[in-house]
Amino acid sequence: MVASERRLGGLTLPAWQRLLTIGVVIAALVLPLLVKNFTVFQLTLVMVYSIAILGLNLLTGINGQFSLGHSAFYAIGAYTTAILMDRFGVPYALTLPVAGLVCLVAGFLFGLPALRLEGLYLALATFALAVATPQLLKLSLFEHWTGGVQGIVIVKPDAPFGLPLSQDRWLYYFTLIVLILMFAAATRLVSSRTGRALKAIRDNPLAAKAMGIDTALYKSLAFGVSALYTGVAGSLGAIVVQFVAPDSFTFFLAVSFLVGLVVGGVGWIPGALIGGVFVMFVPNLAEQVSKGLAWAVYGVILILVIYLMPTGAAGFVRLVAGRVARLMSSNR
């Protein structure tokens, strides 16, 4: 039986998916009106992290390349926006595409040497990139632009057109629009001809090459697009937090993205949202359990999550959906 013909309570599986997506979007639209400004701020950050994790997912999940250095692209995006807004007075919305473009180029250029590296070696090279990023940002040579160790403070934008929204709520909706666009684009990309080429390279690089796929081009491109996503996330993050400084972009940030990716499910696009929620809220949760041992608690939670869901939320969702479908069909 073809999956699309299988019915659940009278609806096909894709129809269920569409229904669920619409439900999530409606919930996302209503939610900020019901909670405090600070919670709205946190939810906005969840979306920012989700976009960054989605970027990493495109690289790792779809194209099969590792990266522990995505904090660097997040930093480039954030600094591009901060410098454009602070030094040149560019409106915040216009800085997003610029940040994305800068990161696309940066990612593509880093992807070129990375072509020769596979698996572990790539992880090491990107690991080094993540560790070196704060040092490069602090460099006195660029201090005129980056503000050195102090970083740059930016002004939080007001809602446009006289909309009766607080700044936090307006930023939430702004981020939501960007998030929906980015996720829609990613879904299209993955199911396109390009997406199939990227997946073929992940599954069997030699066979992909033999079939005439320009693996070098597609792999660098995957790095570039992935960096673009993470850079846009960084740019949004800078606007939301109103502040950029070298020490917010340490190796720890790159690790958080990776954790979010694995928890959400490698290669499953909606998983990025679950990863974003995990990255945002679980460290706070761990701190509430024990202040002194917060990171130990975090580590234990992480190990438990991997034990229960070795392939992340993606595998878990697939398991539950499979069970439900079998249950429904046996009832009939």
Partner 1 sequence: MDLFLHQLLAGIATGGIYACLALAVVMIYQSIDHFNFAQGEMAMFSTYIAWQLLAWGFPYWPAFAATVVISFAGGVAIERLLFKPIRNAPVLSHIVVFIAMFSILNSVAGFTWEYTIKSFPSPFPSTPLFGNRLIGAHDLGMVGITLVMLVLLYVLFRHTRLGLAMRAAAANPDSARLVGIRVGWMVALGWGLAAAIGSVAGMMIAPIVFLEPNMMLGILLYGLAGAVVGGLTSPIGAVLGGFAVGIIENLAGTFIPVVGKELKLTIALVLIVAVLMVKPSGLFGRTAVSRV
Q: Which residues bind partner 1 (CB under 8 A)?
A: 60, 66, 113, 116-121, 123-125, 127-129, 131-132, 135-136, 138-141, 206, 251, 255, 258-259, 261-263, 266, 292-296, 298-300, 302-303, 306-307, 310-312
Distance from first CA to last CA of the chain, Å, rounded?
Answer: 16
3-class SS letters over 96-138: HHHHHHHHHHHHHHHHHHHCCCCHHHHHHHHHHHHHHHHHHHH
Shortest Å, Cβ 212 to partner 1 = 16
Which own/partner contact pairs does 160-165 have at CB distance under 8 Å and 24+ positions apart? none
Residue with smaller CB distance to partner 1, 34 or 141: 141
Least distance to partner 1, CB of residue 142, Å: 11
Q: Nearer Cβ to partner 1, position 94 or 289? A: 289
- Looking at beta carbons only, is 15 or 132 nearer to partner 1? 132
Least distance between partner 1 and beta carbon 188 (Å): 25
Query: CA torsion 223→249→242→293, rounded to 10°?
Result: 130
Tokens 């699309």 found at = 4
Phi, psi for 201 (deg, rounded to 5): -65, -40
Which CB, 92 or 298, lies closer to partner 1?
298
The smaller minimum CB distance to partner 1, of residues 74 and 110, is found at: 110
Least Å distance, CB 296 to partner 1, is 4
Burial 234-252 (b: 16+ CB within 10 A, else e): bbbbbbbbeebbbebbebe
Among 230, 250, 311, residue whose Cα is nearest residue 49: 230
Question: What's at 186, amino acid-wise?
Answer: A
C-beta of 170: minimal distance to partner 1 in Å?
Answer: 35
Least distance between partner 1 and beta carbon 61 (Å): 9
Taking the least distance from each CB to partner 1, the nearer of 152 and 263 is 263
